[in-house]
Amino acid sequence: MKRKFVFLLWLIGLFQLASPIRAYSDVRTGIMKFSQNDSIQLSLLTCAPGNEIYALFGHTAIRYQNFSQGVDWVFNYGMFSFNTPNFIYRFVKGETDYQLGITPFPYFEAEYALRGSSVYQQVLNLTPLEKQTLLRLLRDNYLPENRIYRYNYFYDNCTTRARDQIEKSIQGKVVYPSVSWTKTFRGIVHEFTVNSPWDELGIDLCLGAEADKAIDARKQMFAPFYMRYFADGAYIQDKDGNTRPFILREEKIVDVSPEIEPPFALTPMGAGALFLFLNVLVAFWQWRKKCIFWGWDVVLYAAQGIAGCIIAFLFFVSSHPTVGSNWLLILFNPIPLFYLPFMVYRDIKRKKDLYHLINLVYLTLFMLLFLPLPQKFNLTVLPLALGLLVNAASHVLVLNKRQ
């Protein structure tokens, strides 16, 4: 049934292409004519989250309708391509470039209907002059030299870009409602990853202590549905002190049921518990046999070191916000990877290795500081750290038993 609905939307889009494509071509060449007699409506679109990690938080766009000219476009600041050279490296480094794109609304509508994401439309309460100003800003943003921008998932994304352009067009200021709650970047992220525990774990491993600081209402608007909430209760105040609602009305223009993907059978906490259990088994076997299973050390410390390299890269090199204050660097750092050849050599030669005694003390201190540290760790970190601690303890016990 959904596919038939989407196919119908595509057919409607084909019949509506003649007029929008002509106007779309005008935008591409930097020419856009405005008329105060035109029936223009501009709206803030908020799209429900999808299943992909980049769609977990929803999306924001601006819809432009000119009823007299039959134009219906969506200005979308969330356009990017995975085919961009070195996309993954640039994303990790914090050099991801997004751009403003223009899409006929029927295509936009069909895309989100097929994805299973509902779309909410908030019609902006703008004067004719403000509408023309906003359209001019969007036109200028779409010029080839302006349309690409350096994306920042907390401070400069598709939602904040749309909000900022709307605010610039208004003759006065937008006053958003005050709230009594206290939010953090990590807390808001968790609200949208509650059904995606593996994505939540990956994000938590990257974010540092800065993500746990309280943020004001404006910073909370990085999330599309928070922007929708604040826009709904906002009002515009002009220079004379007169006020008017920021939003004229809200309607659900794409109403579909989300496609719920079955969760992966093994949760992060389950995987962490399994990891801890395997370390206990290996430790018991090593203690009974009075020897070290160095193959397990290769897997264990190589994985810890690789994870440490990623976190260290984010900590020291990446320009992403909040990753430069990550206390997980204490647990996951490159040292085990660099020391691994010496560790294996000493395991094979059955030589004494002080690394494991130092590691035992080090991990014990981390466990003691798990709660007092100024960063909220994902609970899956707990069995991971315990597993590493058990392995370090088994090396020390085997050495003592040999002696």
Mean pLDDT of the chain: 86
Please indicate, yes or no, whether residues 231 and 309 belong to a single structural domain of this protein: no
Reported confidence tier of residue 92, pLDDT bands at 50, 70, 90: confident
Identify the domain boundary among 189, 219, 254: 254
Which long-range contacts link 1-7 to residues 24+ away (Cβ below 8 Å)? 2/113, 2/114, 2/116, 2/256, 3/114, 5/113, 6/110, 6/113, 6/114
Whole-number pLDDT of residue 221:
97
Position 352 scores a pLDDT of 80
Query: Residue 87 above 90 pLDDT?
Result: no
**Is residue 113 domain-resident?**
yes
pLDDT confidence band for 27 (50 / 70 / 90): very low
Shared-domain flag, residues 249 and 313: no
The DSSP letter of residue 137 is H
- The more confidently predicted of residues 141 and 18 is 141
Question: Domain of 57?
Answer: 2-254
193 with 105, same domain: the answer is yes
Q: Is position 259 within any domain?
A: no
Which residues on adjacent β-strands are paired with residue 249?
A: 123
* Residues 377/267, Cβ–Cβ less than 8 Å: no
Q: For residue 136, count other CB atoms closer than 10 A to its CB.
A: 13
Mean pLDDT of 382-388: 96
Could you count the other beta carbons within 10 Å of the beta carbon of residue 246?
A: 24
Q: Are residues 192 and 58 in the same domain?
A: yes
Q: How confident is the model at residue 82, as a pLDDT? A: 62
Same domain, 246 and 293: no
Query: Considering the domain boundaries, does residue 263 fall inside one?
Result: no
Residue 94 DSSP symbol: T
Give the residue-averaged pLDDT of 181-206. Answer: 94
Q: Residue 9's pLDDT is what?
A: 38
Based on the domain organization, do 128 and 197 belong to the same domain? Answer: yes
- Average pLDDT of the residues in 159-187: 95
Q: Which of 84-98, 174-188, 348-362 has the lowest mean pLDDT?
A: 84-98
Interatomic CA distance for residues 298 and 360, integer angstroms:
18
Q: Are residues 248 and 360 in the same domain?
A: no
Verify that 220 and 290 share a domain, yes or no. Answer: no
Q: What is the pLDDT of residue 13?
A: 38
> Which among 254, 276, 293 is the end of a domain?
254
Mean pLDDT to the nearest integer, 126-155: 94
Is residue 115 in some structural domain?
Answer: yes
Banded model confidence at residue 31, pLDDT cuts 50, 70, 90: very low
The proportion of the chain whose per-residue pLDDT surpasses 70, expressed as a percent, equals 88
Domain tally for the chain?
2
Q: Are residues 203 and 325 in the same domain?
A: no
Q: What is the mean pLDDT of residues 263-290?
A: 92
Asked whether residue 262 is domain-assigned, the answer is: no
- Rounded to whole angstroms, how far apart are CA atoms 290 and 280? 15
Q: Are both 14 and 151 inside the same structural domain?
A: yes
Q: Is the pLDDT of residue 46 over 90?
A: yes
Q: What is the mean pLDDT of residues 111-122?
A: 94
Residue 89 lies in a domain: yes
- Rounded to an integer, what distance in angstroms lies between the CA atom of residue 284 and that of residue 391? 10
What pLDDT was estimated at residue 7?
37
Q: Which of 254, 282, 315 is the C-terminal boundary of a domain?
A: 254
- Does residue 176 sit within a domain? yes
Bridge partners, 65 (sequence order)? 41, 72
Query: pLDDT at residue 86 above 80?
Result: no
Answer whether residue 294 shows pLDDT above 80: yes
**Which of 281-305 are b and which e, b meaning 16 or more Cβ less than 10 Å from the residue's Cβ?**
ebbeebbeeeebbeebbeebbeebb
Which residues fall within 8 angstroms of residue 58, CB to CB, at 6 or more apart? 46, 47, 48, 49, 117, 192, 223, 224, 225
- Distance between CA atoms of residues 202 and 241, nearest Å: 47
Is there a domain that residue 305 lies in? yes
Q: Are residues 225 and 337 in the same domain?
A: no
Side by side, the strands of the sheet bearing 148-150 are 148-150, 97-104, 71-79, 59-66, 40-47, 119-124, 247-254
Residues 367 and 397 in one domain: yes
